[in-house]
Structure 1
Amino acid sequence: MKLASASLILDSTATWLPSGTETVADAVAAGRLPADEAPKLGLSRVPVSDVPAPDMAVRAARAALADAGADPAEIGFLAHGWIYHQGHDFWSPAHYIANETGAHSAFPVGVQQLSNAGAAALGLAVDRLVADPGTGSALVTTADRFALPGFDRWSADYGVVYGDAGTAAVLRRHGGRPGGLRLLSLAFRTAAEFEVMYRCGDEFAVAPLEHGGRIDVRRPKKAYLENFGGNRNFQETACERVREVLLGALHDAEVEPDDSRIACIALPRLCDSVLEMMYLPVIEGQVKGEVLRLREGSGHLGAGDLLANLTHIRDAARLDSGEVAVLIGGGGGFTWSCAVVQAI
């Protein structure tokens, strides 16, 4: 989606990280991570929270609202994205976040799209601001807490270690201030034929966690590889979709791949095996700019990688005025996303 003419501004972003951590060494010692997998992770520790996921989103949202100088009562739309359990089984965390932040007039929407949920939530906020002149600002949040006994962050998946965090962004149609980011484009591409990868071999259940009492992404992925003849078809399609979403977002932003204004390209907070399978082969030699792998100290933040990467780019002052950052995301199902932002 081409957004430069819409003047959409990411006026503020925030990431809330808990003070608690678990280290790779501790996970190996506890038998939660095979020792031979440890060197492949590309990180030493991840954040671990004792705060419920929606409250992490609230803390990030309050920080973003305060930094933007935004009145919560004037937020017209709120989208909250997540992967894993939000603390209650039959409940709307988006409404809770709206209530706790004072965004009582906002229209709250929950978004579940696995790891792409944060980008999808941002996309819904963009659509609302573009389509509805009466909505002047939107709040986007994510939060995930990957806690035992239902989720073992170290062993649940291949090539991923999951960290706990809340993220938030305030999106406005007009305005902007030094330090803000102009959203030039936001693109998505999907390959829904691979949704089976997260359920292969398992019957549909009637209640959560019936397939063993703990989230185990490795089991259906292994069954998929055994039943569908390996990973080559998925890898080829994934690279094709990443290329499409990257070039599509750059085209919509009116930025060429070799544009000298591109300062950095931020990748999902995944291990090298995943990045090298579908992201780096597309980016290397295609787009100028420093490639950012920001997983150290965080791991994969569930739905929050893209917003956390935006916060890092802004807080680390990686962009001078007029410079551009490219942020790529993706999630099981599968959908890939790409945002192009420019420093004001």
Structure 2
Amino acid sequence: MRLGNGLGIRAVRTCLPETVETALDAIARGRIGEDDLMNTGVTEVPVSGTVSAPDMAVAAARGALAAAGWDGADLGFTTHAWIHHQGHDFWSPAHYVAHRVGAVRGVPLGIQVMCNGGGTALEAAASRLLADSTTGTALVTTGDRFPDEGFDRWAGDYGVFYGDGATAVLLHERDDSLDDFTLLGLSSAAVSAAEGLHRGRDEFTPASRWNSDRIDVKRTKKAFINDVGLDGFYSGVHVALRGIVTTALEEAGIDVDDPRIRALALPRVGIKVRRETYHPAVEGLTKARIVELGNRTGHLGAGDMAANLTDIREQELLAPGEIAVTISAGGGFGFTCAVVARPAR
């Protein structure tokens, strides 16, 4: 996506519960083994008690609006992304978030494309701002919660521990004097032939959690791997990842060897998954250092990209004028690359 002079990320915020569960406690309870911890590298995850995923998204959005000095009533576009149950069976969480932050303009958009929802939502917001100048400002939120009643956050998937949390990103016309980041490039790609990793051999069912009391990602992945194998998956994913990085940089007018590219942030999955799926595609593609940002959150559903941006800002991983490459990914499979710069005031 060609963004011209770029868009401004006025503020980005992450909302995480204060309560955490540690991997060592999970090992002591027999939920995972020491090998799982070694392969994942996540020491703890935030856990929401009773606060819903959409309410965490509202809190993140309010934090971003307060930081920006914006009023929710002025937002021209809102979109909310998620991967897991939002608290009601037949309902629009996107409209709830918009209602709770006072966004009365426009029609809220809900996005459910697995864990790349945050990247897809960012692209949708950017597209709206570029297509209609009257939009003015846009809010992108994500929110996910993985309670034991429906999801085993520790052992329900291979090489991924799941944390609860939400994120918010505010987009508008670029203003280097105020923005957290300048969004310079966006590119997405899909490897739809791999959708079976989350379907396996399961028949289509009439209602959710028909096959098991809790979502079992390992069951579908094991079936897919046994039936199809992973060689084609890896080759397709590596091509897609290299493509979105090089395209996003090219369309932003940035050479892959540009020394200003200082950080490359990957999805918050486990060490083994990152090294098998992502590192072969992106290592050496730029001069950026791959930063590890999720060892105390685990995978935040649709929120990994925005959470990485929050950490890059809070940890001051970029000097003014420097650039970061962030990658979002999700089952389906879909991938988005966002290229951002810290404004030089």
Taking structure 1 as the reference length, the TM-score comes to 0.97
- 1:177 CA drift (Å): 2.8
Amino acid at match of 1:118: G
Query: 2:259 aligns to what?
Result: 260
- Output the amino acid matched with 1:53: A
Amino acid at match of 1:127: S
Is 1:62 aligned to 2:88, yes or no?
no
Distance 1:149 1:34 in 2: 21
What is the distance in 1 between the residues matched to 2:71 and 2:235? Answer: 46
Deviations 1:18-39 (A, max 9, x none): 0111111111122221333222
**Contact preservation (8 Å) 1:242, 1:278:** no
Question: Which residue does 1:72 correspond to in 2?
Answer: 72
Instruction: Report the alpha carbon displacement of residue 316 of structure 1 after superposing the two structures with TM.
Output: 1.7
Counterpart CA distance in 2 for 1:185 and 1:34 is 41
CA–CA separation in structure 2 for the residues paired with 1:152 and 1:12: 32
Aligned equivalents of 1:251, 1:278: Cα separation in 2: 23
Distance in 1 of aligned mates of 2:184 and 2:2: 7
Mean CA deviation greater in 313-322 or 43-52 = 313-322
Alpha-carbon distance in structure 1 between the residues aligned to 2:239 and 2:58: 37
Instruction: Tell me, yes or no, if structure 1 residue 163 matches structure 2 residue 163.
Output: yes
Residue of structure 2 equivalent to 1:182 = 182
Percent identical pairs in the alignment equals: 46
Give the whole-Å Cα distance in 1 for the aligned partners of 2:181 and 2:287: 20
**Aligned mates of 1:88, 1:275 — CA distance in 2:** 33
Q: Which amino acid aligns with 2:34?
A: A
Corresponding residue for 2:45?
46
Structure 2 equivalent of residue 296 of structure 1: 295
Letter of the 2:333 counterpart: F
Note closer, same or farther for the CA distance 1:294–1:39 as it changes in structure 2 (3 Å cut): same
User: 2:118–2:328: 8 Å Cα contact kept in structure 1?
Assistant: no
Moved more, 29-38 or 266-275: 29-38
1:192-235 CA distances to partner (integer Å, 9 max, x unpaired)? Answer: 1111111111000111100111100100110011111x211111
CA distance in 2, matches of 1:208, 1:339: 33
For 2:2, the equivalent position in structure 1 comes to: 2
1-side partners of 2:167 and 2:74: how far apart? 20
Aligned to 1:172: 172
Q: Counterpart of 2:186 in 1: which secondary structure? A: strand
Cα separation, 1, equivalents of 2:166 and 2:176? 23
Aligned to 2:135: 135
Q: Is the 8 A contact 1:268 1:293 kept in 2?
A: no
Tell me the equivalent position of 1:250.
249
Deviation at 1:289, TM superposition (A): 1.7
Compared CA separation, residues 322 and 4, structure 1 to 2 (3 A): farther
Unaligned runs of 5+ in 1: none
SS class of match (1:203): coil
In the alignment, the residues of structure 2 paired with residue 270 and residue 177 of structure 1 have an alpha-carbon distance, to the nearest angstrom, of 34
2:332 aligns with 333
Instruction: Give CA deviations for 1:29-60 in whole Å, capped at 9, x if unaligned.
Output: 22221333222211211100121100000000
Partner of 1:308: 307
For 1:115 and 1:35, locate their aligned partners in 2 and report how far apart those are by CA, in whole Å: 26
The DSSP-based 3-state class of the residue aligned with 1:40 is helix
Which residue in 2 is equivalent to 1:200? 200
Write the distance in 2 (CA, Å) between the matches of 1:101 and 1:199: 36
Equivalent residue letter for 1:252: E
Which residue in the other structure is 2:110 paired with?
A: 110
Distance 2:294 2:174 in 1: 32
Paired amino acid for 1:100: R
Give the CA RMSD over aligned residues. 1.1
Task: Specify the alignment match of 1:277 in structure 2.
Answer: 276
Contact 1:179 1:314 in 2 (8 A): no
> Scaled by the length of structure 2, what TM-score is found?
0.97
Instruction: After superposing the two structures, state which structure 1 stretch, 236-245 or 278-287, moved more.
Output: 278-287
List per-residue Cα deviations over 1:126-183 (Å, max 9, x = no partner). 1110111110000000000011110010011111100001100110024343452111
CA shift in 2, pair 1:317/1:106, >3 Å: farther
Offset at residue 106 of structure 1 (A)? 3.8
Question: What is the alpha-carbon distance in structure 1 between the residues aligned to residue 271 and residue 315 of structure 2?
Answer: 23
C-alpha contact 1:4 1:183 (8 A) present in aligned 2: no
Pick which of 174-183 and 141-150 moved more.
Answer: 174-183
1:75-154 equivalences under 5 Å are: 75-154=75-154
User: Size of the alignment, in residue pairs?
Assistant: 342
| Shift of residue 278, structure 1, vs aligned partner | 2.1
User: CA separation of 1:4/1:314 partners in 2, compared to 1, >3 Å: closer, same or farther?
Assistant: farther
Aligned position for 1:34: 33
Q: Distance in 1 between matches of 2:35 and 2:171?
A: 43
Alpha-carbon distance in 1 for matches of 2:37, 2:308: 24
